[in-house]
Amino acid sequence: MSSLWISNVRVIDPACGRDAAGDLFAVDGKIVPDLSSEQRQKAQKIDGSGLVACPGLVDIHVHLREPGQTHKETILTGSQAAAAGGFTSVVCMPNTSPVADTAGTIQFIKDIVQRDAVVKVYPTGCITVGQKGQALAPIGSLKRAGVVAITDDGDCVQNNELMRRAVEYAKMFDLPVMDHCQDTALTHGAVMNEGVMSTRLGLRGWPNCAEDVIVSRNVILSTYTGAHIHLQHISSRNAVEIIRRAKNRGVKITAEATPHHIALTDAALATYDTNFKMNPPLRTEADREEIIAGLRDGTLDCIATDHAPHTDYEKDKEFDFAPNGILGSETALAISLETLVRHHGFKLSHVIDLMTRRPANILHLPAGTLAPGTAADICLFDPEESWTYDAKAGFSKSSNSPWHGRQLKGRVKMTLVDGNVVYDRGAIRAAKP
C-alpha cells in the first residue's frame, strides 16, 4: 500500500467543517484519519509548513477545445493549466468541433481524457443538435455516455418552448441544465458593456437586460418544471437580485461567478486591449460589487473560471472582430483571494468553499472534500506568496490573459490527484495514474 503524509499544514475543508493546523494522510489514493506506525515509516512525506491544504479545486466551466480546436488548447495542456491552478476536477464545455451532441463524441472526449489528462475531466453534452437551438440533442444517450450536465454554452437557447422541453427531459435523467444567459436579439453587434465607457470608446454596447431576461426565463421554467437550472457566469447586478428572490422562494436555481467579473470592470477596456473582451462583458463597479454581495450571501453558489483559450493571432485584431474569452485556470485562486479575502473581508475558508464543495455539489461530482474515504485530491498553496504571472510561460497552449505580467499574491505549490503529485512548484510531475 502507498501512503502519503502531509505534515505541519493548515487544513481547510469546508465540507467537514475543518480549519486547523495539523496533518493530512492518505493510503492508496484515499484520505484516511491516520497512518499506522509502519505506514508512517514508508509514507511519502510532504512538509506543509506555511501552506494551506484544501480539497482539490473544482471548476465546473472550462473550455478545453478538443476535439477540433487544438490550435487553442488540448485536453493535455488545459488539464496541466488546471493542475497548476490547484484544480483537480474540471467540467469541459461541449462547444468543440464537432460539438459534443452525440454519445460517440462524448466517448471520444473520454478516451482522450483517459490518455492525456493530468486531472479529472468531466464532459458536458449539448442541449440542442449542433448547438443551433433548433432541435433537442439525444439527452438520454448523452447521459448514458457519461455527461454530468447539458449546456449550449456560448449559444443560449432562444426558443422558450424548446428550452422548456429540454429542462423537462433533463429532469427525467437527473441532469442539471447549465445555461449561458443571453438574449441575442439585444446583443447583435455588441462587444462590451453598454454604458458610459462604451459611449466613450465608440463601441457597440451590451445591455444588462440581455442577461436579466434569460435569467428570468430560466427562473420561470425552473419554477414551472421543478428542474435544476444552473446559470453560468452571472455579470449583471439585476440578475443577482432576480436569483436572490427566486432562491428565497425555493426555486431550484444555482449560479456561478467568475474571477474576472469580481475583479474587473469595463473601465479596463480603455486601451482597447482584447484580452479584456469576454462574454458576458465586464460591467460596472455597481455590478461587480453586487456579484460579490451575491457570493457573500449565497445567492451565487460558486466560482468558476470560464477558462477560454484563444491564440495570439485570433486576439490580435480590431476589438469588434476579436473573439470573446480569457484564460482563467492558473490565476483563479490568486485573483479570488485578492478580491474576496484581502479587499472584501471574506474568510479564507469561505473562498475555498466557493471553489471546492459548492461547485462539486452543483453537478454531483465526487470531489470537494477531504473526508476519510474520499479521493486524495489535494491543493497545497501559500496564501502569502507574491509572484508575477507570465501567461506566455504558462501551461495553457494560449496566452490570452488580462493578468499577464501582473504581480499576484497566493500561489499554488502542489496539486495531488488520487494521492499522486501531478504538479509541483512550477512543473508537471506525472500524468494522472
Question: pLDDT class for 430, splitting at 50, 70, 90?
Answer: low
Does residue 113 surpass a pLDDT of 60? yes
pTM of this prediction? 0.97
Which residue type does 140 have?
G
Asked if domains 3-52+375-428 and 56-362 share a fold, the reply is no
Q: What is the pLDDT of residues 277-301, one digit of tens each?
A: 999 999 999 999 999 999 999 999 9
**13-19 LR contacts (CB < 8 Å, sep 24+):** 13/54, 13/55, 13/369, 13/370, 13/371, 14/349, 14/350, 14/352, 14/353, 14/356, 14/357, 15/55, 15/353, 15/356, 15/357, 15/368, 15/369, 15/370, 15/371, 16/369, 16/370, 16/371, 18/370, 19/349
Q: What is the β-pairing status of strands 18-27 and 229-231? A: unpaired
155 is catalytic: no
Q: Is the dihedral of CA 212, 217, 221, 227 positive or negative?
A: negative
Lay out the sheet containing 120-123: strands in order across: 57-62, 87-92, 120-123
| Sequence spans of domains, the chain | 3-52+375-428, 56-362
Nearest one of 369, 411, 357 to 387, comparing CA atoms: 411
Give, for 47, the enclosing helix (H) or strand (E): strand 44-47
CB of 126 closer than 8 Å to CB of 154? no
Q: What is the pLDDT of residues 158-171, one digit of tens each?
A: 999 999 999 999 99
Q: What is the pLDDT of residues 318-365, one digit of tens each?
A: 999 999 999 999 999 999 999 999 999 999 999 999 999 999 999 999
User: Looking at domain 56-362, what is its CATH homologous superfamily?
Assistant: Metal-dependent hydrolases (3.20.20.140)
Which residue type does 105 have?
T
Look at the block and give the residue holding cell 431550484.
252
**292-296 LR contacts (CB < 8 Å, sep 24+):** 292/262, 292/339, 292/340, 292/344, 293/240, 294/234, 294/240, 294/243, 294/244, 294/255, 294/257, 295/257, 295/262, 295/340, 295/346, 295/354, 296/344, 296/346, 296/350
CB of 63 closer than 8 Å to CB of 324? no
Look at the block and give the residue holding cell 507574491.
386
* CATH-assigned architecture of domain 3-52+375-428: Roll (2.30)
Does residue 433 surpass a pLDDT of 60? no
Question: Active site residue: 155, 266, 287, 306, which one?
Answer: 306
